[in-house]
Structure formats: structure tokens, C-alpha cells
Amino acid sequence: MNKLDQVVSLIERNRISTAQVSDALGKAGVLNHFKALTRGYHKVGKVNYIYTHSGSNYDLHKQIQFVEEDSIVFVEGFDCDGKALLGELVAKYLLLYKKCKALIVSGLVRDAHSLVKEKYPIWSFGTTPLGCVNSPVQLTPSLEKNISLSQTKFEDGIIIADDSGVVLIEKEMTSADLIKKLEFMELQEDIWFYCIDTLKWSTYETICQKSYMKDTSLLPLILRRKLEEVDFYESK
């Protein structure tokens, strides 16, 4: 299993949240303005980047024929002027027939009543009744440059999406070190909840002072042993 698959498996198996992943990335990786259309989902997978532009989703329809199963489709719109990038038909095609895990739409979506009814895992900037046209539009050199930059950013990346938002792990961050940091984040959260729920410490004592590091005997044996194994990393 390569590092990308290892990271996806770890996050999916342990349901590691976007907040924890962002912490492991050094308070980075968050893609702003995304909101879950249907709440309660936790999705993680390799990014399949799709673009569309100039108020038309012609290029979107052309590209989605070739998306990979179990990927998370990231749709980015350029110069679409408040028009929805996709609606029920595209969502159904991608999620049901192409078996993608989720849709992350960097723009608006339409047919919200149907998307919510079907409980599709979609994150977007919001909704509108106004859709794009589906006729071909010529790409300008400026748009080609912007699209190329985005493709490079998302290539071989991983997206995690939950009720808090969306986080991107870029290719160069997918490493053994990241796996260790993610494991540490999980352990740290277990310790923090133990300190607050069982030891009845304040959040200041627990999070800021890390008083458990001064006397680890206060922690259960299993947490102490795990802490010894991952003490290479000190969270910020």
C-alpha cells in the first residue's frame, strides 16, 4: 500500500476529523467557504479534479466521464458568475453510477431539494436555481494558466470533508511523518478528554499547560505507553 492509500485508510478507519487533520498539517490545508449540503458525513479520498468555466459546464460533462471510482470529485468553476456548476443529474451520475465518494463544489449547486432528499454527500458554497449553459466555450490563455495551477495543487492530493468543512492534503504532505502526526492527534485528543472528563482538570491545565506530561502516572497505562511511542511530536 502506497503512502496515499495509507493516509486515506488511517483517516477513514479512525474517522479522523478535518480539525485534527488541519492540526496535523500545522493549522493548514483548510479550503475556505465550503458547507455540507447534507450533514453527518465524513468522507476521505483521493482527489479527482474537474474544472469548468465561463458560465458553461460543457467541459465538466466532458471530464466526468473519466473520473475514478472511490475518488472525491473536486469541481472548480472559473468565471461562472454565480451560476450553479452542477445539479441533480450530475450528482446522481457521479455518486451513483461512477461510485465517487463525495462531491466538493467550489461554487454553487442547484436542485437543492433533490440533492438533500437523496442525502448526497456534497459540499459547496451554497445553492441557486440558476444553472450554467452546456455549450462549448473557448478557454483563454489566462484561464488555462489558472486551471493548470489548480490541477498541480490538487494532483495526487487527498480531501477530507465533514460537518466542519473541507481540508486538502497536498501530494508533498503525504508522508510517513504525516501518518505519525495523525496518530499523535488521535492520542492527544484521547488524553485531553481523559484529563477533562475523568481527572476533572480545566482546559487550561490540560491543553495549555499539558500537566499530564509532568506526571504521566495519572494516565491509564495504555495511554502512557502510546504516549511514549509518539513523543517525537509536540503539537502547536
For residue range 57-71, list pLDDT tens digits in order.
999 999 999 999 999
Both 27 and 117 in one domain: the answer is yes
The rounded distance, in Å, linking the Cα atoms of 224 and 148 is 47
Backbone angles phi, psi at 140, to 5 degrees: -90, 160
For residue range 165-223, list pLDDT tens digits in order.
999 999 999 988 999 999 999 999 999 999 999 999 999 999 999 999 999 999 999 99
How many domains does the chain divide into? 2
Both 72 and 7 in one domain: the answer is yes
Both 23 and 96 in one domain: the answer is yes
pTM of the predicted model, to two decimals?
0.93
> What is the Cα 87 distance to its own chain's centre?
21
What average pLDDT score do residues 144-148 get?
96
Which CATH number goes with the domain that contains 56? 3.50.30.40
Q: Which of 35, 38, 1, 37 is nearest to 18 (CA)?
A: 35
For residue range 32-91, list pLDDT tens digits in order.
999 999 999 999 999 999 999 999 999 999 999 999 999 999 999 999 999 999 999 999
Both 138 and 185 in one domain: the answer is no
In a domain, 79, yes or no: yes
Three cell numbers at 17? 476529523
In a domain, 195, yes or no: yes
